[in-house]
Chain A
Amino acid sequence: MKISGNLQKDVAAFKKLLPAEDILSFDFVSQKGLAFTVLFADPITDKELLGEQVIRPLLRYEGTPKAEDVGKKITSPEKRTESDLNKLSEEVLAGNPVLFFEGMDEAIIVGTKKVFVRAIAEPSTDVAVKGPREGFIEDIKINTSLVRRRLKTPELRMDFLNVGRRSDTFVAVCYLEGTTPQKTVDEVKQKLKEIDIDIVPDSSYLTHFLASRPYSLLKQIGTTEKPDIFCAKIAEGRVGILVDGSPIALTAPYLLVEDFQSSEDYFVPPYRATFTRVLRLLALLVAIYLPAFYIAAQLFKLQLFPIKLLMTISGSIRDIPFSPSLEMLLVLFVLEVLNEASIRMPKYVGMALSVVGALVLGETAVSAGFVSTPAIIIIAFSGIGLYAVPNLIEQTSVLRLIMLLVAGSVGTYGIILATAFLLFYLVTAENLGAPVLAPFSPMVGRDLRDSLVKYNLGSLETRPRTLKSKNKRRLKHE
């Protein structure tokens, strides 16, 4: 629907399009008698800026009723004209006021959106002792500026899309032209365009649509809250996705090894980084397998325990009324409940919860003979191990439970078979053409230099081959 030029008629038509009560209009007349009407969404428009940059200068307007002349008087740097009422209504809903005036078949859109943002802070899920501490926030403009600040190159492209029928969420697809394979970029954009969903409250909604196996238990899209990691991944040849309203950025293709790397690994000596990466892997394996092997050993293969440890264990479990599997499941259940409650609970209650968890449920349950001390130690150790790789907590906690159930029913052989299943599933998994388990399977020799092992920066001359980047070299020696 186009603007007619009749102010009253156009405003009425516009209000018909947006009848919501928080869409307000303000009428005013210039010194020369030219009538204006500003339409804006009350909660998301910066009215002070609107008054300062639009209304006040136009009150003194003495020129002709031409959009070009009127525009010159408006001091806002963001302004443009539009004649389609539908598009104008979209702008108002995005927080940009629209200025109608008598005799013109175009309206002026002014960029005086009110931006509510929290301060840039260190993300609680990815704390670094060394290195940058900035984290993404919920505003896409600020997030893109954080990226742009780190990648000052014309090759950095940000293609904007809108996803969500009702939320019309702004999504930025970021990549380095000439480095990221165009096929990957096109595939990501195509998948985003095909999304037909009501609203996109968070970036995690998009992962389901970007994944090759949407119902998979395992992670398929990388996530980060830190702009430095985001930029490093883009520079390796990945596509980055920023979503308005979400502090969590997505990266694709995703490789499992990414979650064993931390930004800090690049700021400490390589031997230390290698040590911590191996430690993370071991912690993860302990988290998944320790409770399962403990149960399997108790039920089916006591030889796995050294004799003295076996005597200690048999002493502690002698009077326990539950079977080893049930006992372990019970302790695991308590741990998961405590974990869930401590995350959701107000901070000041958290301390009390720790006391209840540690003393009442732990110590008292042992002394009452409900559960044994080894079971609590093992689950506690497993629980700590889980947090060594925070990005995989959801997956590892489920795997731990699966292994526990398998161990309780089939024993050690069940654990081995479940592992074989998992390995085969992982080696056959691909996302956007990249194998999830690379560079281990398929083995990519050069990429192993920054996998579990971390070579010196000088040795990381090329981008990961797995990502099939067009621009292979990232470091040149003199």
Chain B
Amino acid sequence: MNKISERQIYFFLACIAPVAKLIVMPARLAGYCGNDLWLPALFQFAVQSLAVFCALLLAKRGKSLYDLLADRTGTIFAKIVVLLVGAFLLFAGILPLLEQKLFVQGVFYDTLPSILSFAPFFLFLAYLCSKPLASYGRVFDLLAPIALVGLAGVLLFSVGNADYGAILPVGASGARGLLKGTAYSFAWFYDSALLLMMLGKFDYKKGMAWKGAVCYLAGGAAVVFFLVVFYGIFGGTAVNQFFAFTKTSKYFSGFTVLGRVDYLFIFLLSLASSFYTALPVSGAIESIVQAFGQKKYLPTLLSVFLAAGYFLLTYLLDFRFGDVMRAIAEQAFYLFPAFALLLPPLLLFLLIGGKHETA
């Protein structure tokens, strides 16, 4: 359990990372660029896969982000960068957390429940984040088939109900719409930054960088296909369909006899997304541990403290999800490409030509 395996990294990139993009992002993209919603997503997956490629290349030396930087630039600069990445992850983690909360309240209950119905998640968050980041590796092994079956099931019930002509003509939203969609969807793409915090937790294997990028693109292809189906079903009303993956399958005719069996697949996707929601927080804790050294109760204390902080934040922002999302995705969107797109190649460039020490 000390190391994440090569396969587990691929599973994360291909099956688990895409799930988080299926909750609120489709409706937002439909709002920004209508029938072209799949184009910004395609672009995001393409550029993010390049960042994933760079982040995986950094794993060649078998060192953590902090150690890599400390070797080249000294400990102070390394601490600053690692803590900045941690702070970014804490910031980035707010959106999926609020999404998750809204999703739970909207999908799992017939009437709007109290905020306390979501409170157990923070216990789970505290428990999960108190464990080393490397223990996620085995979770990825288990969640990959779960997410795959979940997505396949939802798509199976949805594909027959879509009008694929709805996505034509391509480019109807114009350059402005596409640009807006691309810029404002950055908030859902920071998987390469998560990989940066996993450095040192897995060993680089030959060809891992391009294989990882391909896996990410494969997961992206599934998301893009889902977006097409989503718009094909809802058309102009897609903008109002939050929690996309719970909505597309509900028109399947067999449900009158079977009941909403698609909920079984939705539950599987929810299970996968609850682990993904905790990942940025675990990444942030890892950054603090790397910067200040492994102390016995530090991860546990931090996880409890951060889970409590997030709970408070969620409680305070209970009915202000729209404002928070606009603030993160529309006003502070530039933070995401800075950390998730520029940082991995920049680090690669900085560390190329450094001392080639082996782990």
Question: Which residues of A line the B interface, CB within 8 A?
Answer: 300-309, 410-414, 416-417, 419-421, 423-424, 427-428, 430, 435, 437, 440-443
Contact = CB atoms under 8 A, between A and B. Distances in A.
Contacts of B128: 424
Across chains A and B, which 5 residue pairs bring their CB atoms closest together, nearest first? A306-B259, A427-B138, A441-B141, A413-B108, A441-B138
Contacts of B108: 300-301, 411-413
A413 B104 contact: yes
A301 B110 contact: yes
Given A303-B110, A306-B256, A416 B263 contact: no
B326 interface: no
A442 B131 CA distance: 17
Interface string B96-113: 000000001000111001
Contact of B139 (A302, A303, A424, A435): A424
12 contacts: A300-B109, A304-B260, A308-B257, A412-B108, A416-B267, A416-B270, A417-B120, A424-B127, A428-B1, A428-B135, A442-B5, A443-B7
A430 B109 CA distance: 37
A421 B137 contact: no
Given A307-B256, A428-B138, A442-B138, A414 B120 contact: yes
A194 to B, nearest CB: 24
Contacts of A305: 259
Given A300-B110, A301-B108, A411-B108, A437 B138 contact: yes
Contacts of A435: 1, 138
B137 A442 contact: yes
B104 A427 contact: no
Nearest to B108: A413
B141 A442 contact: yes
Contacts of B234: none
Given A301-B110, A303-B110, A428 B131 contact: yes
Nearest to A296: B108
Contacts of B117: 410-411, 413
Contact of B1 (A304, A412, A430, A443): A430
Interface string B188-229: 000000000000000000000000000000000000000000
Contact of A423 (B139, B255, B259): B139
A412 B131 CA distance: 26
A309 B255 CA distance: 12
B120 A423 contact: no
A419 B267 CA distance: 11
Nearest to B11: A443
Nearest to A425: B127
Which of B108, B118, B263 has the largest count of A CB atoms less than 10 A from its CB? B108
Contact of B124 (A307, A411, A421, A442): A421
Nearest to B259: A306
B258 interface: yes
A190 B259 CA distance: 56
B346 interface: no
A322 to B, nearest CB: 21
B260 A427 contact: no
Which of B7, B113, B127, B260 has the largest count of A CB atoms less than 10 A from its CB? B260
Given A307-B256, A416-B270, A423-B271, 16 more contacts: A300-B113, A303-B260, A304-B259, A306-B255, A306-B258, A306-B259, A410-B117, A411-B108, A419-B271, A420-B274, A424-B127, A424-B131, A428-B1, A430-B1, A441-B138, A441-B142
A100 to B, nearest CB: 59
Contacts of A421: 124, 127
Given A305-B259, A420-B274, A443 B124 contact: no
Contacts of A442: 5, 8, 137-138, 141
Which of B121, B135, B258, B259 has the largest count of A CB atoms less than 10 A from its CB? B259
Nearest to A305: B259
A427 B267 contact: no
B276 to A, nearest CB: 11
Contacts of B270: 413, 416
B333 interface: no
B142 A416 contact: no
B275 interface: yes
A94 to B, nearest CB: 44
Contacts of B1: 428, 430, 435
Contacts of A306: 255-259
A305 B330 CA distance: 40
Nearest to A445: B7
Contacts of A414: 120
Nearest to A426: B142
A309 B127 contact: no
B6 to A, nearest CB: 11
Contacts of A412: 108, 267
Contacts of A307: 256, 259
A228 B109 CA distance: 51
Contacts of A417: 120-121, 124, 274
Nearest to A308: B257
Contact of B259 (A309, A410, A428, A443): A309
Nearest to A423: B142
Nearest to B100: A413
B215 to A, nearest CB: 15
A443 B260 contact: no
A423 B140 CA distance: 11
Contacts of A427: 135, 138-139, 141-142
Given A412-B267, A428-B1, A441 B257 contact: no
A33 to B, nearest CB: 74
Contacts of B121: 417
A421 B121 CA distance: 10
Contacts of A419: 271
Contacts of A423: 139, 142, 271
Nearest to B119: A410
Which of B109, B138, B274 has the largest count of A CB atoms less than 10 A from its CB? B138
A153 B258 CA distance: 57
Interface string B1-22: 1000101100000000000000
Contacts of B263: 301, 303-304
A435 B255 CA distance: 40
A476 B131 CA distance: 43
A365 B122 CA distance: 41
B141 A443 contact: yes
Contacts of B7: 443
B145 to A, nearest CB: 9
B40 to A, nearest CB: 30
Contacts of B259: 303-307, 309
A416 B135 contact: no
Nearest to A419: B271
Which of A307, A309, A416 has the largest count of B CB atoms less than 10 A from its CB? A416
Contacts of A428: 1, 131, 135, 138
B124 A420 contact: yes
Nearest to A415: B267
Interface in B232-258: 255-258
